[in-house]
Homo-oligomer: A and B are copies of this chain.
């Protein structure tokens, strides 16, 4: 059996998991795959740090160059994260004629075009199973198992931190703040949780996934996204009352020759299977013209689950490199049009906190009428303290009209604070 050599950049959470699988399962992997891929070098800023695996001295590289210049290493695994040093490293590796395996969604979403171009120039390849939904093998399923399908719609719960917080708020009535604190204590959220909470991380993953599904680039910079920080406990309670759960949902839909793509907190009917995805789990729901509706569900982060996806890439890379498999085509560099938000027809959940009810309702209704925003449900619950929340669910309506109507209503004196606008999917 031909022996292939890879090097690992980064011994953080995922890197440690990858290192452990290499040390504990190399025999099993060789038996199962018929290839022998060895981890020969590891580079990490602080490999002696407590909790990191004990890497034998001979395997520890002292500099990136030691790996990049080593002609016996055919592939590097980039698990350092971020977009500055990682981008540099991946470029250098490709330029040095090495293939790359990465779990770095920010890097691929923001610089994928450049990196795939460089890879093509050198006839090299980038593997990225672990970059979307962690351990869930969605990249390979879309590329191979669903090959007979044209996929038109993708729904994803792609950020475990946000989903953990929303689940705690929904199931245990926690506040956003308390749930975030718990997520940090449990290791589901970073000290600085911004990229998770504000929707950026999920949008990175959606850009990668949608580009693969539609066979053309869905540029990250064209995505509309927002996070869960503006979802209140009362929104979650009202959604529950109306038969819905709020999830940070990544959505991509093919509409004609363009794509509608966004990430935002969204109401889903309780009996939809995505509404049952709780805690730090991820899920991808998609619709193919042959297969119909499908769901993939699993751990979207964490050391071992993400390492499981990285290792499946290592094995596939080894098969490709040794001629036991043909390389998959690299993503197309063509771009697909992402349709403007105003083109969307959708259903919405609207909350206004108002002080003086009787007169207000007819005024608000009048504005909705003026903008052709048709209402399907109206809920008002007496509260001990003013202001009183007024909740509207709309029928399918034009998004621009809703925004205009809400803007006008928000200027009424009796409306307190910022109105809430959330999308509703069925």
Contacts and interface: CB of A to CB of B under 8 A. Distances in A.
Nearest to A297: B295
Nearest to A277: B273
Interface string A3-47: 000000000000001000100010011001110000000000000
A337 interface: no
* Number of copies of chain A assembled together: 2
B140 A144 contact: yes
A341 interface: no
Given A145-B141, A148-B312, A290-B304, A298 B295 contact: yes
Interface string A274-304: 0111100100000011111111111100101
A27 to B, nearest CB: 13
A136 interface: yes
Interface string A129-159: 1000001110011001111111000000000
Nearest to A145: B137
A296 B296 contact: yes
Contacts of A69: none
Contacts of A229: none
A294 to B, nearest CB: 4
B297 A292 contact: no
A312 B271 contact: no
Interface in A209-235: none
A325 B320 CA distance: 8
A123 B390 CA distance: 70
A277 B295 CA distance: 11
A311 interface: yes
A307 interface: yes
Given A147-B315, A297-B295, A324-B325, A288 B308 contact: yes
Given A290-B305, A292-B302, A294-B299, 15 more contacts: A34-B329, A135-B290, A135-B291, A135-B294, A136-B294, A141-B141, A144-B316, A145-B309, A147-B315, A148-B311, A288-B308, A294-B297, A295-B296, A295-B297, A325-B325
Given A140-B145, A146-B312, A147-B33, A298 B291 contact: yes
A312 B278 CA distance: 31
Report, as a range, how many residues of chain A touch the other chain.
Answer: 35 or more
Interface of A: 17, 21, 25, 28-29, 32-34, 129, 135-137, 140-141, 144-150, 271, 273, 275-278, 281, 288-299, 302, 304-305, 307-309, 311-312, 315-316, 319, 324-326, 329
Contacts of A315: 144, 147-148
5 contacts: A141-B141, A147-B312, A294-B299, A297-B297, A325-B326
A145 B289 CA distance: 23
Nearest to A141: B137
A146 B308 contact: yes
Contacts of A281: 293
A311 B290 CA distance: 10
Given A29-B147, A33-B147, A147-B315, A292 B305 contact: yes
Contacts of A292: 135, 298-299, 302, 304-305
Nearest to A274: B276
A329 B35 CA distance: 13
Nearest to A143: B32
A129 B141 CA distance: 13
A307 B325 contact: no
A304 B309 CA distance: 29
B326 A305 contact: no
Contacts of A293: 281, 298-299
A145 B314 CA distance: 11
Contacts of A271: 276, 278
Of all A-B residue pairs in the complex, the 7 with the closest CB atoms, nearest first, are A137-B145, A148-B311, A324-B326, A290-B308, A295-B297, A294-B298, A276-B276
Contacts of A291: 135, 298-299, 304-305, 308
